[in-house]
Structure 1
Amino acid sequence: MSTEHPQVEVLPCPKRVRVVFAGQVIADSRSTLLLRGKRRLPVYYFPRKDVKPEHLHTTSVTSDHELGGRTTHFALASGERRVEDGAWSFPEPPHPVLAPLADRIAFAWKAADAWFEEDEEVFVHARDPHVRVDTLQSSAHIQVIIDGVVVADSRRPVMLVETNHPVRWYLPEDDVRMELLTFSPKTTRCPYKGVASYWSATINGKTHENIAWQYRDPIPEIPKIRGLISFYTEMVEAVLRDGDRVS
């Protein structure tokens, strides 16, 4: 059997990774391994010695993983708090690529209260070291058109290029017709950029819900997009770059 796999790989992680559950750190390791692959969210696997066993309750549930084989499932428990199927382990992965994960513990991201890489909280999922986010100051002329109305017109955009995602253009508020936008209660989190706030646009009496977003306080690695507005290219009539339509 091949020791490589075209879809997945196991990587050592140099970061200290911690998992917080019910107000307690239940896993704390400088020796995690990261399982990543195409169209898969990256997952941390902890050595058993770095997981507090009193919070890990073996259940009768088992399943079969395509590469990991028989999978043992655990509930997470602390005091009166219990989350079923909060963690899992591959006792004896049949595929060599997953062999380093044998008997390590992986946690369901949402089962935990918080995750930390070193001393910074991480949201949504583990960061994939193969994902790159570049922010580039540009002099391109960017226009955003919704229902025939130019909603944004800027010659000082920031271009954001992210692995496996469409290019996004972030524009200063002064270059956006903010009187056409209404702040939305919606928020989302990105492990590579931070917490996004959303805006809806009302054009010619029609409201386009959550058509634009803004990182008011992005993570320190992405300071250039702070406070800038970006529109979903696929939801507006057109985004023009120097007069040409952006796909």
Structure 2
Amino acid sequence: MTDESVDYPGLIVPVGHVEPVPRRIRAQVGGQWVFNTRRAVYVWEWPGYPQYSIPLRDLAEGVLTDDGRTGRLAPGPARRHSLRVGSEVREGAAWVWDEGAPEVLIGTARFRWDAIDAWYEEEEQVFVHPRSPYTRVDALRSSSSVRVEVDGTVLADAPSSVKLFETGLPTRYYVERAYVDWALLRFSDKVTACPYKGRTSGYWSFVSGAVTHDNVAWAYDFPTVSCSAIAGMVAFYNEHVDLHVDGVLLPRPTALSRTQWDEQQRVRS
């Protein structure tokens, strides 16, 4: 039986998969470079996206200290290390792959993403996690109309949209701000980031009397170049609103949201 709430391609990369990174990868802690390499590899510890594994020979001298703790990550065994850069110390910042891990990972270290202050691919900073070479994100202008409702109240009614297709996630429908009823929405201080789209410029909650639905809408005023078509537009979580596209009510998706993927990364790091 087909799940009608799933309208997008699934993730295809198996856990433990390793691929070369063709991009220069650099990282900073406390304003100092921790590594600069053209020999990194992608390693998938879960299906959603990879992590970088960095050759030890490309690290700044003496920055890693063995914590004396071993563990087994999805691709294989590893030893936990702390990171020291000047006066900055990041406990348990990295796992150095141990014997029994895939051979290509031996002699490399997988860093916890938030143990690094800033990651760079070539000259562009990367947020949240590495961009997967198997994930595609397309923002396409569309003549599809979009009506958004919560509890029978119309929040937006737009004659056209931009559809954002991202591998492994539900299709998102962005509408022009002129078609949103801002009297029903309250600005939130929530901020999220995406390696493919950039950093959000705003979230809004639906407020009607005593009823509140938190952070149901968001916008990217300054998205990445590849997603420039959504600049300044507003999208609503399909999971939390009633979304009518060309007059047809869409089933609410059951897939993991971006926030849930981020939480998985935090827990597994």
* Distance change in 2, residues 1:222/1:203 (3 Å): same
| 1:232 Cα deviation after fit | 0.9
State the percentage of identical aligned residues: 37
1:169-184 aligned within 5 A: 169-184=173-188
Distance across 2 between alignment mates of 1:65 and 1:243? 47
Amino acid at match of 1:56: L
- Counterpart residue number, 1:201: 206
| Structure 2 residue 53 is the aligned partner of structure 1 residue 45 | yes
- Counterpart residue number, 1:75: 82
| Structure 2 residue 193 is the aligned partner of structure 1 residue 189 | yes
Distance across 2 between alignment mates of 1:124 and 1:85? 19
1:1-247 aligned within 5 A: 6-36=14-44, 39-69=47-77, 71-94=78-101, 98-196=102-200, 197-236=202-241, 238-247=242-251
| 1:179 Cα deviation after fit | 2.0
Contact 1:161–1:167 under 8 Å retained in 2: yes
Amino acid at match of 1:183: F
Distance across 1 between alignment mates of 2:114 and 2:14? 28
- If asked which structure has higher relative contact order (CA below 8 Å, sep 6+), I would say 2
Q: If the length of structure 2 is used for normalisation, what is the TM-score?
A: 0.84
Distance across 2 between alignment mates of 1:43 and 1:62? 19
Runs of 4+ in 1 over 6 A off after TM superposition: none
SS where residue 217 of structure 1 aligns? coil
Contact 1:149–1:203 under 8 Å retained in 2: no
Give unpaired runs (5+ residues) of structure 2: 1-12, 252-269
Contact 2:16–2:43 under 8 Å retained in 1: yes
| 1:66 Cα deviation after fit | 4.4
Amino acid at match of 2:183: E
List per-residue Cα deviations over 1:99-128 (Å, max 9, x = no partner). Answer: 101121111100010100000100111111
| 1:204 Cα deviation after fit | 4.9
Amino acid at match of 2:83: L
* Number of matched pairs: 238
Distance across 1 between alignment mates of 2:45 and 2:135? 11
Give unpaired runs (5+ residues) of structure 1: none
Stretch of structure 1 that moved more, 149-158 or 57-66: 57-66
Stretch of structure 1 that moved more, 105-114 or 6-15: 6-15
| 1:73 Cα deviation after fit | 1.3
CA RMSD of aligned residues (A): 1.6
* More strand by percentage: 1
| 1:205 Cα deviation after fit | 4.6
Distance across 1 between alignment mates of 2:210 and 2:229? 33
SS where residue 153 of structure 1 aligns? strand
Choose 1 or 2 for highest CA Rg. 1
Distance across 1 between alignment mates of 2:234 and 2:168? 21
List per-residue Cα deviations over 1:36-88 (Å, max 9, x = no partner). Answer: 2653531111112211132111221112334322x111101123321111011
